């Protein structure tokens, strides 16, 4: 096979080789020109490289032939290209490198993908400060057998190796260039960044001729992007919009037709930038209207003996420059008004906001009046830098510093710079807590000091340990690798009494109401299930000995592991509920033929997943209303997880009886979760769960909505220290059987 299909194209414009873009995508105007004057030739390369993939592009065959005919001693190459076919780019690179003339390559817009390799052909590689250079590895689209794909991979490696020689020979950074070609990422550089990376040599001085050429190049690029964006998919559209923004300047914008200017504004997503260019467009319109008014034909004057001399009208000012000058003048006036009040946050926010918005309708006088209103709306000193702000007392500050020191040593938080308690042992902090109460600890041993730290009524020591333990419990609860919260919905339960969960079905159909007729009461169909909160809990104790021994694990590792255990225990209850197939309020098992949520046994496949999705969408409530339950995902044993993901992601249908090219109709239409507790009960069965936004299958009730373990402290009586009780009040329940379906799995 040939590698004509291997392309190196900026990802933002990768239209002609992306399967979802189609062959009708256009890249806008693409061209090349070669002309010579005296002893200098100019080669202009604008557009995609290679005629194989693009309807309008730079043909390597034609360009290389024209380069070979050049006899001048200097070749200036003007480059603005998104990239294209690798081999065509290499041919242009080799033609320029092998030519005896001195070659100067200037990136006037962008040199992306294989175009960045053409840049390396220059004896001098020039960029503008606003130029873009992008490097990435070659890529292709292939189909066929595994052998075909291996051959394609080898060919891509060979292309990358050949390209590496060009980049490495000019940059002198072989390892860096090899990384850019093999890490499967697009690497973008501005002009100065390209020089730092070894991809260019010099930033071009902005002489008038260069500025005009850059403006023309940018206008061509923006026009091409606007043309390409029509009919493009969402990802490509987003990338094209970024290219439009990168190519814009006020001068480039002003050179575009008005219809293109309006289109450009529509594609700018940043509100500040959108406002800036909308202001320029509006100002240009006003200036044009004024110019038209000034050039109206005057009334005929009476004849005179001799004609008066006529003074030619001064040329109209550049509307873009005039608008920008007006904005700068207004901003300077506003900043002068606000200068002495910028220490007040509201004033600073307002001034920075109107300057960023660039709304010319807001005058300096308007801004001054608004600033005065802001100054009168708060009680701060007008200079914004005086006054005393109340805060916490010394005890609060000391306690916060001690808490930070303890938690930092336990690895729960970062230590605060300048914390005087940083690095202290637990015993030393206990001593500081006792001394803070005004107690003289002279003559006390460590056991007495720690005991008093626990028992003194004014001591903060127990609270400090509690703060650290609570943080550790919460951290452990979040760390536990349990996924039940991804397919269940939390609900608030007010008390420990049995609570009915009402799964509302569809509202009854609307009736035809004749003129003057009576409206009848509608109803919801209901499915009521019961839930009762249970309490899960354990105790742990922090003793005097643990503090004296500076045992950090007793209040970091132990409570953290208890937090993990709390989440694990709740997950166990969720999966026990699924595995037990409980009897519901209607007297029937959760999964049953009567409920219509027990499907014929089958292995996970395109057909069986599609059947489950259809069964859920065809489910009806008790009133016979079709409720259209969408399936959110599959819940499987660990043993079936890979198969479920394969069915979700495969391009072609998976399962017996399907053809090699049958489409996978369920591709990327569901999520996949797995858990080992399902393997313990039945490694073959798998489940479909509804989107809880429509129907609740499984809910987890939490007392008062508290979804994290609660830590309660009790002073020890039988033990010297403090006892802590970790408690979680929660319970899972089935809210509606229509929200969960079961397939018993492979019957063999």
Sequential DSSP letters for 468-490: HHHHHHHHHHHHS---GGGTSEE
Could you give the C-alpha distances from 232 to 14, 26, 85, 236, in angstroms and in order? 11, 9, 21, 6
Contact status, residue 138 vs residue 7, Cβ threshold 8 Å: yes
Could you give the C-alpha distances from 462 to 401, 454, 543, 561, 715, in angstroms and in order? 15, 6, 11, 20, 9
φ/ψ of residue 80, rounded to 5: -155, 95
Contact status, residue 186 vs residue 10, Cβ threshold 8 Å: yes
Rounded Cα distance, 105 and 44, in Å = 10
Q: What pLDDT sits at residue 575?
A: 94
Contact status, residue 218 vs residue 46, Cβ threshold 8 Å: no
What angle (nearest 5°) sits at the alpha carbon of residue 129, between those of residues 16 and 356?
95
**Sign, Cα dihedral of 269, 270, 274, 275:** positive
**Structural tokens at position 321:** 């420059």
Q: What pLDDT sits at residue 10?
A: 38
Give the other-Cβ count within 10 Å of 329's Cβ.
11
**Maximum separation of any 2 CA atoms in the chain, in Å:** 126
Q: What pLDDT sits at residue 397?
A: 79
Given the residues 16, 59, 113, 218, the one annotated as active site: 113
Strands (E), 120-269: 124-127, 132-135, 187-190, 202-203
Strand partners, 259: none
Q: What are the mean pLDDT values of the chain's consecutive 10-residue runs (748 residues total)?
A: 41 29 34 64 85 57 85 90 88 92 93 94 92 90 82 88 91 89 89 89 68 67 77 72 79 80 84 78 55 46 43 46 72 85 86 76 83 72 52 70 78 80 80 80 75 66 69 73 87 74 54 74 56 75 68 68 84 92 90 93 94 91 78 95 94 82 92 94 94 84 83 60 78 89 88
**Structural tokens at position 175:** 């390892």
Strands (E), 606-685: 631-636, 671-674
Could you give the C-alpha distances from 544 to 57, 426, 452, 562, in angstroms and in order? 80, 10, 10, 21
Residue closest to 93 by CA, chosen among 116, 126, 127, 125: 116
Q: What pLDDT sits at residue 329?
A: 82
Could you give the C-alpha distances from 361 to 236, 247, 280, 364, 365, in angstroms and in order? 36, 27, 12, 10, 11
Strands (E), 584-669: 631-636
Give the other-Cβ count within 10 Å of 35's Cβ.
11
Given the residues 136, 159, 267, 675, the one annotated as active site: 136
Spell 557-583 as b/e; 16+ CB within 10 A means b: ebbbbbbbbbbebbbebbbebbeeeee
Q: What pLDDT sits at residue 315?
A: 43
Could you give the C-alpha distances from 553 to 173, 406, 429, 550, 634, in angstroms and in order? 49, 11, 16, 9, 39
The answer to whether 116 is a known catalytic residue is: no
Tell me whether strands 524-531 and 202-203 are parallel, antiparallel or unpaired: unpaired
The answer to whether 136 is a known catalytic residue is: yes
């Amino acid at each position: 096979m040939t590698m004509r299909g291997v392309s190196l194209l900026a990802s933002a414009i990768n239209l002609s080789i992306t399967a979802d873009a189609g062959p009708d995508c256009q890249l806008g105007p693409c061209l090349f020109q070669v002309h010579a004057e005296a002893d200098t030739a100019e080669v202009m390369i604008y557009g995609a490289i290679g005629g194989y993939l693009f309807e309008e592009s730079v043909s390597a065959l034609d360009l290389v032939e024209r380069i070979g005919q050049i006899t001048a001693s200097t070749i200036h190459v003007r480059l603005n290209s998104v990239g294209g076919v690798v081999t065509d780019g290499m041919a242009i690179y080799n033609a320029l490198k092998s030519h005896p003339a001195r070659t100067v390559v200037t990136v006037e817009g962008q040199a992306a993908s294989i175009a960045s390799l053409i840049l390396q052909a220059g004896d001098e590689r020039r960029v503008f400060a606003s130029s873009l250079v992008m490097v990435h590895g070659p890529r292709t689209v292939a189909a066929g057998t595994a052998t075909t794909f291996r051959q394609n991979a080898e060919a891509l490696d060979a292309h990358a190796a050949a390209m590496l020689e060009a980049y490495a020979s000019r940059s002198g950074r072989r390892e860096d260039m090899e990384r850019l070609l093999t890490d499967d990422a697009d690497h973008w550089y501005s002009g100065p960044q390209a020089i730092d990376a070894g991809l260019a040599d010099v930033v071009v001085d902005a002489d008038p001729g260069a500025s005009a050429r850059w403006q023309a190049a940018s206008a061509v690029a923006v026009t091409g992007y606007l043309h390409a964006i029509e009919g493009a998919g969402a990802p490509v559209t987003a990338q094209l919009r970024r290219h439009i923004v990168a190519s814009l300047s006020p001068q480039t914008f002003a050179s575009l037709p008005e219809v293109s200017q309006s289109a450009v504004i529509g594609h700018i997503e940043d509100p500040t930038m959108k406002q800036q260019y909308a202001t320029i467009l509006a100002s240009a319109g006003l200036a044009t209207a004024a110019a038209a008014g000034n050039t109206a034909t005057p009334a005929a004057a009476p004849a005179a003996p001799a004609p008066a001399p006529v003074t030619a009208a001064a040329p109209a000012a550049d509307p873009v420059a005039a608008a920008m000058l007006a904005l700068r003048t207004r901003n300077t006036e506003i900043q002068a008004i606000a200068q002495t009040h910028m220490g007040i946050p509201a004033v600073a926010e307002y001034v920075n906001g109107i300057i960023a918005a660039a709304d010319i309708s807001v005058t300096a006088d308007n801004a001054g009046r608004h600033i005065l209103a802001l100054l009168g709306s708060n009680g701060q000193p007008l200079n914004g830098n005086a006054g005393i702000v109340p805060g916490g007392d010394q005890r609060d500050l000391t306690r916060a510093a001690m808490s930070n020191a303890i938690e930092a040593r336990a690895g729960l938080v970062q230590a605060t710079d300048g914390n005087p308690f940083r690095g202290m042992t637990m015993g030393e902090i206990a001593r500081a807590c006792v001394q803070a109460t005004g107690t003289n600890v002279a003559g006390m041993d460590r056991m007495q000091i720690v005991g008093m730290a626990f028992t003194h009524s004014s001591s903060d020591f127990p609270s400090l340990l509690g703060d650290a333990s609570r943080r550790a419990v919460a951290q452990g609860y979040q760390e536990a690798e349990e996924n039940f919260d991804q397919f269940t919905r939390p609900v608030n339960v007010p008390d420990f009494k049995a609570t009915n969960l009402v799964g509302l079905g569809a509202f009854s159909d609307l009736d035809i109401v004749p003129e003057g007729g009576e409206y009848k009461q509608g109803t919801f169909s209901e499915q009521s299930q019961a839930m009762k909160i249970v309490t899960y809990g354990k105790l742990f104790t922090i003793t005097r000995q643990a503090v004296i021994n500076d045992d950090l694990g007793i209040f970091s590792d132990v409570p953290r592991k208890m937090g993990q255990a709390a989440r694990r225990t709740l997950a166990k209850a969720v999966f026990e509920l699924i595995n037990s197939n409980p009897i519901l309020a209607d007297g029937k098992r959760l999964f049953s033929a009567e409920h219509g949520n027990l499907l014929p046994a089958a292995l996970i496949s395109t057909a069986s997943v599609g059947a489950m999705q259809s069964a859920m969408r065809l489910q009806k409530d008790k009133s016979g209303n079709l409720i259209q339950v969408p399936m959110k995902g599959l819940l499987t044993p660990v043993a079936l997880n890979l198969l479920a993901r394969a069915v979700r992601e495969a391009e072609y249908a998976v399962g017996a009886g399907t053809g090699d090219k049958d489409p996978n109709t369920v591709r990327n239409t569901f999520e996949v979760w797995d858990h080992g507790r399902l393997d313990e009960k039945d490694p073959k069965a798998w489940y479909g769960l509804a989107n809880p936004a429509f129907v609740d299958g499984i809910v987890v009730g939490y007392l008062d909505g508290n979804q994290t373990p609660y830590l309660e402290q009790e002073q020890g009586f039988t033990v010297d220290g403090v006892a802590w009780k970790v408690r979680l009040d929660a319970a899972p329940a089935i809210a509606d059987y229509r929200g969960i379906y079961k397939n018993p799995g492979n019957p063999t």
